[in-house]
Chain A
């Protein structure tokens, strides 16, 4: 069963606008959530994370929102830039799992100039 799900395989936005990437999870034991960005032929790079004790975490142009009751998180990128074009993966883990991560399928973001 897919415990972490990204329902949108792709997203296209205009430069300067907001990009919103969504992620849903089913395991209520997850308490730490992360977003990774991946360019072709490179490994994923860590972008931003959030603990379940918070509902928002911000780092520059990137903000992650967590809605625990809905088991939903989202990544907002404002303003979007062409260099943000990449595949974005959300991931989740639970305390005591040794930092084992469960990943979603990924969303290809394309930011058009």
Chain B
């Protein structure tokens, strides 16, 4: 069974702080993704990565960056947190090849005060 682990379930930070969200998968998947989920907006893609040290912008990358130094780990960074980044953040991974479902972690509920 695929396991995607997000480091924190709940996190509270202050405006202007630099925030790190960590995600680890144990299935040697090439592809990893970061989404945010907001009511009425579904899941929106922030960044994704096809391989170590590679990253691609998703639909809403502004205010975020990512790091993928090892295949199993994909980090999302909020450079200077703002209140409009309060959200549920979800990490997912999937292997190479087409037509495979992504596997999700349990999410991090981030509140920026």
B-binding residues in A (CB < 8 A): 4, 6, 9, 32, 34, 36, 41-46, 49, 51, 89, 91, 93, 95-96, 98-106
Q: Are A41 and B94 in contact (CB under 8 A)?
A: no
| Bound complex: CA A36 to CA B31 (Å) | 18
A-B contact count (CB 8 A): 63
Known contacts A89-B43, A105-B41; A41/B109 CB under 8 A: yes
Q: Are B48 and A43 in contact (CB under 8 A)?
A: no
- Closest B residue to A90 by beta carbon equals B42
Within 8 A of A (CB), among B59-98: 90, 92, 94, 98
- Closest A residue to B93 by beta carbon equals A99
| Bound complex: CA A61 to CA B47 (Å) | 34
Q: Are A9 and B40 in contact (CB under 8 A)?
A: yes
Query: 6 extra interchain contacts, Cβ-Cβ under 8 A, other than A43-B106, A45-B104, A105-B40?
Result: A49-B101, A89-B43, A95-B98, A96-B98, A98-B48, A103-B35
Which residues of B lie under 8 Å from residue A41 when comparing CB positions?
9, 106-107, 109
Which residues of B lie under 8 Å from residue A100 when comparing CB positions?
33, 45, 48, 58
| Bound complex: CA A49 to CA B35 (Å) | 20
Q: Are B4 and A43 in contact (CB under 8 A)?
A: yes
- Closest B residue to A100 by beta carbon equals B48
Q: Are B103 and A99 in contact (CB under 8 A)?
A: no
What are 9 A-B residue pairs whose CB atoms fall within 8 Å in the complex?
Answer: A9-B40, A43-B90, A44-B43, A91-B43, A95-B98, A99-B31, A104-B42, A105-B41, A106-B42
| Bound complex: CA A45 to CA B102 (Å) | 9
Which residues of A lie under 8 Å from residue B33 when comparing CB positions?
100-101
- Closest B residue to A52 by beta carbon equals B99
Shortest CB-to-CB span from A40 to chain B, Å, is: 10
From the candidates A46, A96, A105, A106, name the one contacting B101 in the complex (CB within 8 A).
Answer: A46
Which residues of A lie under 8 Å from residue B100 when comparing CB positions?
99
Which residues of B lie under 8 Å from residue A96 when comparing CB positions?
98
Q: Are A98 and B31 in contact (CB under 8 A)?
A: yes
Which residues of A lie under 8 Å from residue B4 when comparing CB positions?
43
